[in-house]
Chains A and B, each alone.
Chain A
Amino acid sequence: MPNNSEANAGFYKDTLLAGLWRENPVFRLLLGMCPTLAVTAAVKPALTMGLCVIFVLLCSNLIVSLMRNLLKPHLRILMFTLTISTFVTIADLFLKAFVPRMSETLGPYVPLIIVNCIIICRAEACASKNPLIVSIIDALGMGAGFTLTLCVLAGVRELLSTGKIFEAQVMPDWFVPWAAMSMPVGAFITLGLLLGLVNATTGKKA
């Protein structure tokens, strides 16, 4: 059945791209705002957070998809949370053991991935209704979309607050760092402007 497999491939590609742009979790669905605002003061912690979310999203989508036929409707959220918190705890232990300084920078925001809406949303909207492969592709797409937006936001903030990107100096000497950009106010302003920019370029009405 060549037609069928071609349609499948198209569907997979579509699922992957949806997370990156059309249904981008931060810019389009406005989900997972807590880490988006909290850990984007510099690119490194933002990237670490993104990778953690990809790991957790992948594992939880995989497990939820495998047990989707066994789920009792009224117990499903409980099962999702149980699955997610297990993998978040493992990711947290891993960071503490291998990158202790990064773990200190991220602080409570790693355990807080448990309540990150993106992961619950994908478990509910995708993994609990779709076969394994689709769920995995969806997790990769959504995770990558989240990580990319986090890095863009962090890049803007790190550049303006320190004149560096990825801890390497890029701004000329006369540049005066804007300390406010590394504080919460910088996060809100940058996110607001980026959201406006995305809406303006895609012609979406507010």
Chain B
Amino acid sequence: MVKIKHFIQQSWLLIVASFFFGLLIAVANAALSERIEQNRINKLNRLTRALLPEAENFIALDTEIEIESTRGKKEKVQVYKAVSEGKCVGWSFNAAGSGFADKIELVVAVDKDFQKLAGFDILASNETPGFGDQIKYDYFRDQFKGAPAEELKLVSIGSANPGEIDSEIVAITGATISSEAVVEIINNSITQIKNQMQKKGLIGNAK
């Protein structure tokens, strides 16, 4: 009994303050969480809309798609269906993997048959400014627009016809991990998602 009294005497301020501060954070969180979630959705929508300009609306797919990440861990992927006038015009999904400095999170868009990539954009990354973060630049990202949605190949020497869109992606430099990482993330997710969507009958078996 004496011990409890001593404990309360010593720490009553801490206990009261914890409750008070907890309440303060709860109030701030309740007031702001809706806006924060909305910001996240807005960003995703803004990026996907730029990739699939003809889409009017994005519908989250109820079907669960699970893929193995580059590290071999099972991960759930939320796939969005891009719709225009009731018809499917494409698909988009998020993909992540490790880059040079930190995790790279991408949003990837493909056409309605999962045949061609519509492009990708970066949700979050922390690559070296001026070097690795060139994965954000148009010259690198444009190589993916219209590329076949299958295993992409990374080459360090540009192809004979630079404007050509094929499964070859020219790296930022041969030693840049960031461009390698992007290709790896897309390769890893796209084939697995394609397979699962074909199995579940969401897209036709083209081949």
Contact = CB atoms under 8 A, between A and B. Distances in A.
A94 interface: yes
Interface string B107-147: 00000000000000000101011110000000000000000
Interface residues of B, number: 24
Contact of A86 (B24, B33, B36, B129): B24
B41 to A, nearest CB: 11
B84 interface: no
B203 interface: no
A70 interface: yes
Q: Which of B24, B43, B130 lies at the interface centre, i.e. has the most chain A CB atoms within 10 A of its CB?
A: B130
B183 to A, nearest CB: 24
Nearest to B25: A89
A90 interface: yes
B11 interface: yes
B25 A79 contact: no
Contacts of B130: 179, 182-183
Given A82-B18, A86-B21, A100-B43, A179 B28 contact: no
B36 A75 contact: no
Contacts of B33: 93
B13 A70 contact: yes
A75 B11 contact: yes
Interface residues of A toward B: which range?
20 to 34
Given A83-B21, A97-B36, 9 more contacts: A41-B129, A67-B17, A79-B13, A79-B17, A86-B25, A93-B32, A100-B40, A100-B43, A182-B129
A189 interface: no
B14 A75 contact: yes
A107 interface: yes
Interface in B1-34: 10-11, 13-14, 17-18, 21, 24-25, 28-29, 32-33
A67 to B, nearest CB: 7
Contacts of B10: 72, 75
A71 interface: yes
Nearest to A63: B17
B32 A83 contact: no
Interface in A92-142: 93-94, 96-98, 100, 104, 107
Interface in A56-91: 67, 70-72, 75, 78-79, 82-83, 86, 89-90
A88 B174 CA distance: 42
B14 A93 contact: no
Q: Which 10 A-B pairs have the closest CB atoms?
A: A179-B130, A86-B21, A97-B32, A97-B35, A100-B39, A90-B28, A96-B36, A182-B129, A93-B32, A97-B36
B38 to A, nearest CB: 9
Contacts of A67: 13, 17
16 contacts: A72-B10, A72-B13, A75-B11, A78-B14, A90-B25, A94-B28, A96-B39, A97-B35, A97-B36, A100-B43, A104-B124, A161-B129, A179-B129, A179-B130, A182-B130, A183-B129
A100 B129 CA distance: 20
A91 B21 CA distance: 14
A183 B128 contact: yes
A82 B14 contact: yes
A37 to B, nearest CB: 14
Contacts of B126: 107
Contacts of A90: 24-25, 28
Q: Which of A83, A86, A94 lies at the interface centre, i.e. has the most chain B CB atoms within 10 A of its CB?
A: A86
Nearest to B40: A100
Contacts of A179: 129-131
A41 B128 CA distance: 12
